[in-house]
Amino acid sequence: MTRISLDQAQTIVSGALAEARALKLKPISVAVLDAGGHLIAFAREDGSSNLRPQIATAKASGALALGVSSRTIGEMAVERPTFITAAAGLNPAGIVPAAGGVLVRGSDGAVIGAVGVTGDTSDNDELAALAGIKAAGLSA
Amino acid sequence: MTRISLDQAQTIVSGALAEARALKLKPISVAVLDAGGHLIAFAREDGSSNLRPQIATAKASGALALGVSSRTIGEMAVERPTFITAAAGLNPAGIVPAAGGVLVRGSDGAVIGAVGVTGDTSDNDELAALAGIKAAGLSA
Amino acid sequence: MTRISLDQAQTIVSGALAEARALKLKPISVAVLDAGGHLIAFAREDGSSNLRPQIATAKASGALALGVSSRTIGEMAVERPTFITAAAGLNPAGIVPAAGGVLVRGSDGAVIGAVGVTGDTSDNDELAALAGIKAAGLSA
Amino acid sequence: MTRISLDQAQTIVSGALAEARALKLKPISVAVLDAGGHLIAFAREDGSSNLRPQIATAKASGALALGVSSRTIGEMAVERPTFITAAAGLNPAGIVPAAGGVLVRGSDGAVIGAVGVTGDTSDNDELAALAGIKAAGLSA
């Protein structure tokens, strides 16, 4: 397993921000975590509200916590709300059950980290996350 | 971005209390926070119950956390209950998804703080908050 | 037992602020709690740092929690640090072991609330708290 | 009061990282917070340990919480250990009483945010923080 480098993480952040500006999204925040769930790089655009760092981190951390994207966690939350609420309480960074948290995989397919984006609709947040991962030459 | 001064915050509090008495509301509590979510001024009327300080603060803090009024958060909570529950768990002061928490904007339109009111119905709480903001010459 | 009214609490706050200005103290914050430890009135002067609401509240709440002034709690913390640290962990609002948190007594000598002040030295914070209590015609 | 922009925050981060490489420090982590204590930008160098995001954030958040640098908080912690332990428990992001957390001031002298650096000795961490602030044309 390879760890995401700071260079790669900063490329993911700048790629996600560029996509957000290209799509004219509301101000977004982007968090990149390593496979252990620990923050490597983060940026919050001007005009973002206060809780965006925690939401971006929780989207990515939740994806790593359960091994699926936060979009899938959102679907699980509809079917089994008490399970996701319980799991969120167990994860120090929490879990946000909405799209925008995406696992990052290395060339061998192993999970090497995760990206979390928040600020616009969940679907748009996810587009920015995917653009960031692509900009770094990594796979979602 | 200007910070709400103590003078302005106390005017918001007294304006909200005056509106509550004019409308003959139940005893209310009023919290005024700066843009960072930190309390500037607070008052709890005689006869209020114990948790009112936390509820008033969480209405205002939640509005700052997500960048919308607590009325809008209440609507989001109907559509996406697990998202709001998750976000509330990430915000140290919590989030209360019910009207009465209103963002305060300066002359340039930037958010400079928030007011939270609790004690009567959510709609009436919001009326008191808006009256307080108006009394201070600021915009909701 | 009488409860401190909002009028009395606001008089305590304005009396403490007036004393702070007369003594040319650094910007202070003042919290007035009822006997149950629940906030009635609060003010934070312009230029205060972020944690002042919690520190002012914890000075007053700690005094109510242990039944002595936060000055006495500071002395206890020197003699028995692990006891005070443990007690602080049990009190939801925490305990700050430094002068500035003063019990307020009614005409029959019973505790009816507490005042917490922070922003300058602990000794000066306590002077402001005492001035506020005196301004409201109550006893420390 | 001006808010630190994302551009300024990213310049602080890159300035601090450049100083760390020039001084051949161990891998560092850099957090830039707005005046309310909310993260704007963050970077953790390759080879850093897991808790660095929280330590960098707590150095900066503690400085904003008490209105002094984390170096001064470290001195306060020697004189009054139970006070700092109590205050740390009240601040959601915690307080780290060691140099490396520096307040950032705008052109009018008002606090507009804070930088926290961790990874090498506290003295060296502070040098990197100061270099970052200087790179952005702001004042410590």
Chain B nearest C-alpha distance from C81 (Å): 27
CA pair distance B124, B99, nearest whole angstrom: 9
SS (H, E, C) B32-64: EEECCCCEEEEEECCCCCCCHHHHHHHHHHHHH
pLDDT at D2 over 90: no
- pLDDT bin (cut points 50, 70, 90) of residue A24 is very high
Pick the closest to residue B93 from B123, B122, B114 (CA basis).
Answer: B114
d(CA A10, CA B105): 33
Torsion angle of the four alpha carbons A11, A14, A18, A24, in this order, in degrees rounded to the nearest 10: 140
DSSP label at residue A3: P
- Cβ–Cβ of C85/D90 closer than 8 Å? no
pLDDT score of C50 more than 80? yes
Q: Read out DSSP for C42-78?
A: EEE-TT--TTHHHHHHHHHHHHHHHTS-HHHHHHHHH
Of B84, B75, B70, nearest in space to B115 by CA: B70
What is the tens place of the pLDDT at every residue in C99-128?
999 999 998 899 999 999 999 999 999 999
Of A41, A64, B74, whose CA–CA distance to D13 is shortest? A41
Looking at every residue in chain B, the average pLDDT score rounds to: 96
Tell me which DSSP letter residue D16 carries. H
Q: Which of B50-54, B107-111, D41-45 has the lowest mean pLDDT?
A: B107-111
How far is it, in rounded angstroms, from Cα A130 to Cα A119?
Answer: 15
Does residue B2 have a pLDDT over 70? no
Please say whether the beta carbons of D62 and D103 come within 8 A: no
If one compares D104 and D80, the residue with the highest pLDDT of the two is: D104
Q: How far is C-alpha A73 from the geometric centre of its chain's CA atoms?
A: 12
Q: What angle do CA C3, C8, C10 make, to 5 degrees?
A: 125
- Which residue blocks in D38-107 are alpha helix, DSSP H? 52-66, 70-79, 81-90
| Cross-chain CB nearest to C43 (options B10, B38, B45) | B10
The domain locations on chain B are: 6-135
Q: Which CATH class is domain D6-135?
A: alpha beta
Residue B73 is given by DSSP the state H
Determine how many CB atoms are found less than 10 A away from the CB of residue B135.
18
How many CB contacts within 8 angstroms connect chain B with chain D?
16
Pairing of strands D29-34, C111-118: unpaired
Computed from CA positions of residues A122, A123, A128, A130, in that sequence, does the dihedral angle turn out positive or negative?
positive
What value does the CA radius of gyration of chain D take, rounded to a whole number of Å?
Answer: 14
Distances in Å between the Cα of A27 and the Cα atoms of A52, A99, B73, B105 are 10, 16, 18, 18
Q: What is the ipTM of this complex?
A: 0.96
Assess whether pLDDT exceeds 50 at residue D1.
no
* Buried b / exposed e along C67-90 (16+ C-beta atoms within 10 A): eebbbbbbebbeeeeeebbebbee
Chain B residues in contact with C56 (beta carbon < 8 A): none
Residue C23 above 60 pLDDT? yes
**A25 touches B at CB < 8 Å:** no
- Chain D residues touching residue B34 (CB < 8 angstroms): 36
How close C88 gets to chain B, by Cα (Å)?
18
Q: How many CB atoms lie within 10 A of CB C139?
A: 13
Among D14, D33, D38, pick the best mutation site for testing chain A contact (most A Cβ within 10 A): D38
Q: What is the pLDDT of residue B1?
A: 47
Tell me the shortest Cα–Cα distance from B29 to chain C, in angstroms.
Answer: 9
Is A89 in Cβ contact with B86 (below 8 Å)?
no
Query: CB B44 to CB C39 under 8 A?
Result: yes
Chain C neighbors (3+ CB pairs < 8 Å):
B, D
What type of residue sits at position C63? A
Is B28 in contact with B16 (CB distance < 8 Å)? yes
**What's the CA gap between B45 and A22, in Å, rounded?**
50
- Residue holding tokens 């000055």? C71
Sign of CA dihedral C29, D58, D116, B90: negative
Looking at residue A140, what is its pLDDT? 92
- The amino acid at residue A91 is N
Q: Does residue A1 have a pLDDT over 60?
A: no
Q: What angle do CA C94, C97, C101 make, to 5 degrees?
A: 85
* C-alpha–C-alpha distance, residues A90 and A71, integer Å: 19
* Chain A interface test: which of B68, B90, B103 (most A C-beta within 10 Å): B90
Q: Establish if A121 touches chain B: CB-CB under 8 angstroms.
A: no
Mean pLDDT, residues D95-103 = 98
Average confidence score pLDDT of chain C? 96
Using a CB-CB distance cutoff of 8 angstroms, which residues of chain A are in contact with residue B64?
A: 49-50
* Chain C residues close to B5, C-beta within 8 Å: 46
Calculate mean pLDDT across residues B109-127.
Answer: 97
CA distances from residue C25 to A43, C111, C140, D76, D103 in whole angstroms, order as listed: 38, 28, 21, 19, 21
Mutate to test the interface with B, among A25, A46, A51 (most CBs of B within 10 A): A51
Helix (H) or strand (E) holding D9: helix D6-22
Q: Kindly indicate the confidence band of residue B108, based on its pLDDT and cuts at 50, 70 and 90.
A: confident
